[in-house]
Amino acid sequence: MRKRSFSIIVCALLTISVIFGTVGIAFADEAPKAKNGLSKLEDLNGKNLGVQTGVLYEDLIKDDLEGEEWYYYKMPNDMIPALESNKIDAYLIEEVGYYAQRYQHPELIRMEESPGYCDFAVIVGNNDKQDRLFAEIQEFIAAKKADGWLDSLYDYWVKNWDPNTCEIKTIPETTGENGTVIIAIEGGYEPFSFESNGQFSGYDVEFMMNFCAAYGYNWDFQAMEFDSIAPGAVSGKYDFGMNIVVDEERAENSVLSDPYYRCDIVFVLESDQGDESGFIAKLQNSFNKTFIKDSRWRLFVSGIGTTLFITLASLLFGTLLGFAVYMLCRGGNRLANKLTDIVCFIIDGIPTVVFLMILAFIVFSNSHLSGAWISVLGFTLIFGCGMYDMLCVGCNAIPKGQYEASRALGYSDSQSFFKIILPQAAKHFLPIYKNDMVSLIKETSIVGYIAVMDLTKMGDLVRSRTYDPFFALIAVAIIYFILEGVLTAVVSQVEKKVDTQKRSPEKILKGIKEVEW
């Protein structure tokens, strides 16, 4: 008992130190310091520079710099903490992004010299609607450029950006007579696409809503990692992908519209005017931003729902699948065994992210299966393989004599398996099952790649709005931890049930009235 309480205390201390350590890193007050002296493009030689993955802005300047090192970030806002912790000396971002960030982080300044500009286009999905949609979007962009609507849209969202007041003023009406188009957006990228009061908003969103209204489509916005947008559209899974940087290589491999906006690309630096509010106030502000404002806790709740759905469904189906396959292979059918081995070998050998993306963008690129169901399918297959392996290992660990003895007594094949082999094998494989289950829960955090709004993705969305990673990340981590704890506890209960050696004599003798002793 004493040993146990000791270990609990150690665990608690460890947890606390981890949390405060993280707090310390996230909120350590840096003394206001002179900006790192960079002011011209040539100052950047040999420096560490940040850029968002997949936007290719670095190509504009790469040839003019020497000895610089590039760091790639998934979300534009992740570069702010990197800059503040001096991991990078400056980062490249389009001017609009910079304006949006500066609203929350006044300490950010831009380098006056600009390496260039970028044109942004819409990528049209490679499916049977492509030709028509391409013609329509071209026509729409040309018309809206001509009548000045695009400029006014740009002014409203970008030049005069204020995150507190900017909303889509009037959502256009659409007849929807020509069906629905699926539009891939980043979803956490102010001011182009972001989550606001439970809906997507921003330049890209309003632009596409007006396009859809003009041509009689219903819209379906799907948020995903930025680097999934173009591949998803090329595979035909999405009809449009937004905010694609125009370059020659892309233009060759995919169908890009004319640019729908152009903006400067700038380097962002940290000024010497640091944020000087107190630690507690910062913490409160951060908590408020992460959970209370705009009822963002709802995002977490819905993320938990999605993650739970994917996890539980995959667990259930995966367990059943693995079991069913094992029962088929148990008879020793050579074809079934060979086939299962090959399938498991392939599935186990592919990284989970890649496997899911193959399912979403290749196998089911043209189906109407939602991302969540594709994830369930993928994880079912992965967990099924694990389950099959577990059963093989567990049942092989039971001596052959157990099966023979039960058959010799007169048990049928299935009676032998369920009454003699499985109860003993369960003791061997349930601990592995628990581990696999925890891995599965953790692995579901990658479904954001195929446009599923799970807990991790929701945390990312919130983070991209608050420009503050602390509470969003810690909350997500804690929620995963709780989910794992609950499911592990359930399996542990099963494990206890299976361990017959721990039963009381009363339980063993249940139903026997006259006990002679």
Q: Which residues bind other proteins (CB under 8 A)?
A: 399, 401-402, 404-412, 415, 419-420, 423-424, 427, 500-501, 505, 508-516
Rg (CA), the chain: 28
For other proteins, the closer CB: 349 or 401: 401
Tell me the C-alpha to C-alpha distance, in Å, between residue 409 and each of 66, 267, 404, 413, 416. Answer: 81, 80, 9, 11, 10
The answer to whether the CB of 384 falls within 8 A of the CB of 321 is yes
Minimum CB separation from other proteins for residue 397, in Å?
A: 11
Alpha helices in 331-359 (DSSP H): 334-349, 352-358
For other proteins, the closer CB: 1 or 508: 508
Q: Which of 145, 133, 117, 131 is nearest to 183 (CA)?
A: 133
Farthest CA pair distance, the chain: 100
For other proteins, the closer CB: 66 or 514: 514
Please give the structure tokens belonging to residue 458.
């929701």
Instruction: Provide CB contacts within 8 A for 430, sequence distance 6+.
Output: 491, 494, 495, 498
Minimum CB separation from other proteins for residue 432, in Å?
A: 18
Minimum CB separation from other proteins for residue 510, in Å?
A: 8
For other proteins, the closer CB: 343 or 498: 498
Which secondary-structure segment (H or E) carries 196? strand 194-196
Which three-class secondary structure state does DSSP give residue 118?
A: strand
For other proteins, the closer CB: 309 or 411: 411
Distance, CA of 441 to CA of 313 (rounded, Å): 11
The rounded Cα 76 to chain-centroid distance in angstroms is 15
Minimum CB separation from other proteins for residue 437, in Å?
A: 23
Minimum CB separation from other proteins for residue 427, in Å?
A: 8
For other proteins, the closer CB: 425 or 476: 425
Distance, CA of 377 to CA of 450 (rounded, Å): 13
For other proteins, the closer CB: 292 or 509: 509
> CB 195: neighbour CB atoms within 10 A?
22
Distance, CA of 243 to CA of 158 (rounded, Å): 14
Distance, CA of 19 to CA of 312 (rounded, Å): 29
Distance, CA of 262 to CA of 431 (rounded, Å): 56
Minimum CB separation from other proteins for residue 493, in Å?
A: 18
Which three-class secondary structure state does DSSP give residue 117?
A: strand
For other proteins, the closer CB: 415 or 492: 415
Which three-class secondary structure state does DSSP give residue 145?
A: helix
For other proteins, the closer CB: 113 or 404: 404
Pairing of strands 261-270, 108-110: antiparallel
Residue in the structure block whose two tokens are 């049942």 = 395
For other proteins, the closer CB: 146 or 508: 508
Minimum CB separation from other proteins for residue 494, in Å?
A: 15
Minimum CB separation from other proteins for residue 517, in Å?
A: 9
Minimum CB separation from other proteins for residue 338, in Å?
A: 20
Minimum CB separation from other proteins for residue 399, in Å?
A: 7
For other proteins, the closer CB: 335 or 408: 408
Which three-class secondary structure state does DSSP give residue 71?
A: strand
Minimum CB separation from other proteins for residue 414, in Å?
A: 11
Instruction: Provide CB contacts within 8 A for 490, sequence distance 6+.
Output: none
> CB 378: neighbour CB atoms within 10 A?
26
